[in-house]
Amino acid sequence: MNVPATPSFEQLQRELEFYRREYDDMGARLVRLQEEQSRAAREARRSKIVARLVRDAYQIVHQDIFASKIGGLILAMVADTALCDKAAFLKRDPVDTERFVVEHALGGMTGETLELPAPPAFLFTASGKPAEPAAAPLTALIGVPYILFAHDESSGRGVLLGKKFEGNIHRPYEARDAEIVEVVLAVYIDLLLRKSAEATMRQARQAAEEASNTRARFLANLSHELRSPLNTIIGFSGLMLEGRARAPTPEQRDEFARQIQDAGRSLLALANDILDFSSLGHARLQLRREWVPLAPLLHAVARALTQDIAARNVWVDVLPVQAELQAHIDYDRFRQILTNILGNAVKFTPPGGRIELGACLEGRSGIRLSVRDNGIGIREEDLARALEPFVQLKSESHDHPRGAGLGLPIAKQLVEAHDGELQLASVFGMGTEVTILLPEGSGKLG
Amino acid sequence: MKGTIRTAYAHDQNAAAAVRAAQADLGDEPADLIVAFVGGKHAPEAALAALRAAFPGITLAGGAAAGAISAHGFGYGGFEIGLIAFAGADVTPAVVATRDLLSGEFAAGETLGEAVRARTEDGQAVLLLFDSVASTAPLKLHPASQIMAGFQSGLAARELHIVGGGLLTDINLSDGWLLDGGEVCKHAAAALIFPPGIAAETVIFHGCRPASSFLDITKIEGAEVLELNGEPALTVVERMLGLTLGTTSGQQLSLVATLGQKQGDPYAPFDENAYVNRLILQANPERGSLTLFEPDFEVGARVQIMSRDNILMLESVTRGVDDLRSRMAAKTTLLGLYIDCAGRASVMTGAETEEAELVVETLAPKFPFMGFYSGVEIAPFAGGTSRPLDWTGVLTVLQAAR
């Protein structure tokens, strides 16, 4: 049996050195393998970040939030997922197209706008890469040196991510990171479009519901407005027919004929209003504008309503108007506007009440017209509805004449067709003032 | 034992919203102390205002955290809020603090240790929290080893179960802060002293294994290792690994490797619990040196280059939780507290599995649980006194003492 010889000290030293070398070598391989694995995992992380961003961002689709909130939510996801220090969405200024405005920001920007005449579709900065000229305003805005930027020309939007350091979890940015910012931007734009489409649909639905309500109100109102004069016509004409037990006296016959005529006129006026309002809503009104002296117009309108004014026993004052004041308007349409407004005021001003018509220059060449009464007024909560069609506001008193509720809406549409604005101010129980404002260029003296 | 401990976790980019969500999770029961771990993207003053608004008149402790870990979620993106609410004298820790770390970590630690000694008996549990970052330009840490050396000196013979962590706003060591006296404080440390009726059990999870033979530190200045085996330390390490440790832009840790010191018999078989690891804070090519996280190695110390090992890290969690569970048997557990080195997050290690998730899954706590990502961890080491550790996870359970 051969017994191995006891190794010499020198052999042992060599053996130890051998094992030490091998151990160190194995250790170094382990470190490098570990580092390689970490690097591969960090690379794979980019895809995970993109996938998670897409998944999380599209959760927003199902949330009932405004489009204006989407940007902030996505930036928070980006900061949380991509582990950047700061982030912002930028939007091209619609007026100064070389300027971008910070739309949403996370982490604080140094300003709210930046000059970026020719934004690249993508850029990044890293310590190992010479900076592009376009990077300077972006790094200045975000206040950190390392950035990722993507821009979408068609929507005029951009996204900017930034970090303070390149170490640790924040490896240096590189060209392949375009995937991250491009996805962020695409998701943002897509969600904005979706939410915007949702809002449009919601508005359309509301409009349809409103139209349906309006139609219902119209039918209810119309049936009343039609039934009353028709009943009058049928009733009085019945009384006038021959063969009745008691023939009407000539005086009665006159009165019945007058009632029938009034009812017929009322029906005609109603039909005109409905046709007017309907045509205003469906086609652009053709105005025949001319320079019209306002003082004669106001007096003509007041005169035209003399009968109603007398019947209601109210006072109508046309306030002094500069004789040479003229407005560039469609005479017939403006007469209709003022007639409707004054007619309304007469209707809702109790006997003994007062109504004032006035007109003056507004600014250099605008026009202000007003009809002010001390009638029953409108409750604050009803003010907005008063300009809606077919709306008859509740009244404490029953002695006010009814109507189709189209006078003011027609007036409003006609004013707007003149590029003007119709304003309504009222204090319940105290009175109402309707003001028409026509833009600069609509008025002149002489 | 009267009193309750509750935990809550929330995540929101708005600090007030995050605190409100966590508060709702805690429920309506009043609290005597709130310990908050606040993600670093939350402005400290905003977080404090939110905490004050949510918990008026209640003592606040805690501070910044590189992330928070709960049984229901975790994160290290910076928008996390982790809360622990203590109610009742039997469970609520007393808080003592110092704001003098900048004047000298040892002295501040010693003062804190003396204050804790005066309020404790042997065997009590203490949670030590401190601001990790002394300055950012240049980057300088508050060394946990000096704080702990001072703290142990102040404690004198008092034997306590001390766990703790360095507070960071993020893993880039951007900043750190602590809540003390209703204020946001820099350069501060706080000791949370648990009542005597509470016992603590702790396990340390590791994740590094030696990747070199022994190397002797032949020249060191504080935390800067200048020479190994008589050669420039950086040259030795880079030559051995065949890797460049990094050009270091000041804030970049070299996470490729650590230096580890084996405790006890150097020739004993590998035992992860025998190693104290030190992260390499910076590689300094011009000085050929390596700056470590802690300045507690000395000339003559025998160290090894240590490699991260993701598999070992995850195995260590499984082994450690089993060990802890065996020690927890038949006791009422009041709180699970996890102090996790931020470097163990998968974004750093590249591990497929999030180590913190594995801790929660394996522990499956049926008791309140809260954790935070830290800079440095402190735990009783190898059956002895508590030491600062790097690249570890420290899991402690607080239980009603028998």
A20 phi, psi to nearest 5 deg: -65, -45
Predicted pLDDT at A283? 57
Predicted pLDDT at A52? 82
Q: What residue type is A118 in one-letter code?
A: A
Q: Residue A333, Cα to own-chain centre: how many angstroms?
A: 29
B370 phi, psi to nearest 5 deg: -150, 145
Asked if A37's CB is within 8 angstroms of B241's CB, the reply is no
Predicted pLDDT at B250? 42
Chain B: residue whose CA lies nearest to A29: B241
Q: Which of A182, A171, A119, A179 is nearest to A146 (CA)?
A: A171
Q: Quick one: average pLDDT of A200-228?
A: 79
Rounded to the nearest angstrom, the minimum Cα separation between B255 and chain A is 8
Asked if A169's CB is within 8 angstroms of B350's CB, the reply is no
Predicted pLDDT at A167? 64
Residue among A18, A45, A80 with most chain B CBs within 10 A, to mutate: A80
Chain B: residue whose CA lies nearest to A170: B172
Rounded to the nearest angstrom, the minimum Cα separation between A55 and chain B is 17
Predicted pLDDT at A168? 58
Q: Which residues of B touch A (CB under 8 A)?
A: 11, 13, 41, 75-79, 171-172, 174, 209-213, 240-243, 246, 248-249, 251-253, 255-257, 305, 307-310, 345-352
Q: Give the integer Cα–Cα distance in Å for B60 and B52.
A: 8
Reported as a pLDDT band with limits 50, 70 and 90, residue A169 is low
Give the DSSP letter string of B60-110.
EEEEEES-EEETTEEE-SS-EEEEEEEESTTTPPEEEEE--GGG-HHHHHH
Please determine, for residue A48, whether its predicted confidence score (pLDDT) is greater than 50.
Answer: yes
Predicted pLDDT at A102? 95
Beta partners for B198?
B400
Q: pLDDT tens digits, residue range A304-356?
A: 888 889 989 999 999 999 889 999 999 988 998 999 899 989 988 999 999 99
CA dihedral A176, A181, A185, A186 (to 10 degrees): 30
Least confident of A54-58, A80-84, A260-264, B281-285: A80-84
Q: Which helix (H) or strand (E) holds A160?
A: strand A157-163
A262 phi, psi to nearest 5 deg: -60, -45
Mean pLDDT of chain A: 86
Q: Which residues of B touch A164 (CB under 8 A)?
A: 172, 174, 251
Count Cα neighbours of B97 within 13 Å in the Cβ-side half-sphere.
Answer: 25
Rounded to the nearest angstrom, the minimum Cα separation between A357 and chain B is 56
Q: pLDDT tens digits, residue range A125-168?
A: 998 888 888 899 999 999 999 999 999 999 999 999 998 877 65
Q: Which residues of A touch B309 (CB under 8 A)?
A: 30, 34
Asked if A39's CB is within 8 angstroms of B347's CB, the reply is no
Chain B: residue whose CA lies nearest to A39: B350
ipTM higher than the 0.90 cut? no
Q: Which residues of B touch A37 (CB under 8 A)?
A: 310, 350
Is the pTM of the predicted complex or chain greater than 0.80?
no
Predicted pLDDT at A281? 61
Q: Quick one: average pLDDT of A25-49?
A: 83
The two structure tokens encoding residue B148: 């702990």
Give CA separation, B35 vs A117, A139, A216, B57, in Å.
50, 37, 62, 14
Select, from the ranges A5-9, A188-192, B367-371, the one with the highest average predicted confidence (pLDDT): B367-371
Q: Give the integer Cα–Cα distance in Å for A157 and A109.
A: 17
Rounded to the nearest angstrom, the minimum Cα separation between B176 and chain A is 16
The two structure tokens encoding residue A119: 């934004």
Q: Which of A23, A38, A79 sits opposite B77 (nearest CB)?
A: A79
Reported as a pLDDT band with limits 50, 70 and 90, residue A194 is confident
Contact A393, A217 (CB under 8 A): no
Q: Quick one: average pLDDT of A355-384?
A: 92
Contact A115, A99 (CB under 8 A): yes
Residue labelled with tokens 């939410």: A195
Asked if A28's CB is within 8 angstroms of B212's CB, the reply is yes
Which regions in chain B score pLDDT beneath 50?
A: 248-251
Strand pairing of B59-65 and B68-70? unpaired
Predicted pLDDT at A409? 85
Q: What residue type is B293 in one-letter code?
A: F
Rounded to the nearest angstrom, the minimum Cα separation between A122 and chain B is 25
Q: Give the CA diameter of chain A.
A: 160
The two structure tokens encoding residue B346: 């998968």
Rounded to the nearest angstrom, the minimum Cα separation between B401 and chain A is 40
Residue among A169, A170, A171, A173 with most chain B CBs within 10 A, to mutate: A169
Chain B: residue whose CA lies nearest to A165: B251
Burial of B112 per CB tally in 10 Å (0-12, 13-18, 19+): buried
DSSP-derived 3-state class of residue B327: helix
Rounded to the nearest angstrom, the minimum Cα separation between B341 and chain A is 13
Contact A43, A174 (CB under 8 A): no
Residue among A20, A22, A32, A38 with most chain B CBs within 10 A, to mutate: A38
Burial A186-219 (b: 16+ CB within 10 A, else e): bbbbebbeebeeeeeeeeeeeeeeeeeeeeebbe
Asked if B243's CB is within 8 angstroms of A167's CB, the reply is no
Contact B166, B130 (CB under 8 A): yes
Q: Residue B96, Cα to own-chain centre: how many angstroms?
A: 18
Q: Quick one: average pLDDT of A253-259?
A: 88
Predicted pLDDT at B248? 42
Beta partners for B338?
B371, B395
Q: Which of B79, B240, B308 sits opposite A34 (nearest CB)?
A: B308
Q: Which residues of A touch B310 (CB under 8 A)?
A: 34, 37
Beta partners for B274?
none
Q: Quick one: average pLDDT of A210-239?
A: 79
Contact A387, A257 (CB under 8 A): no
Verify cis geometry, omega within 30 degrees of 0, for the bond prior to B138.
yes
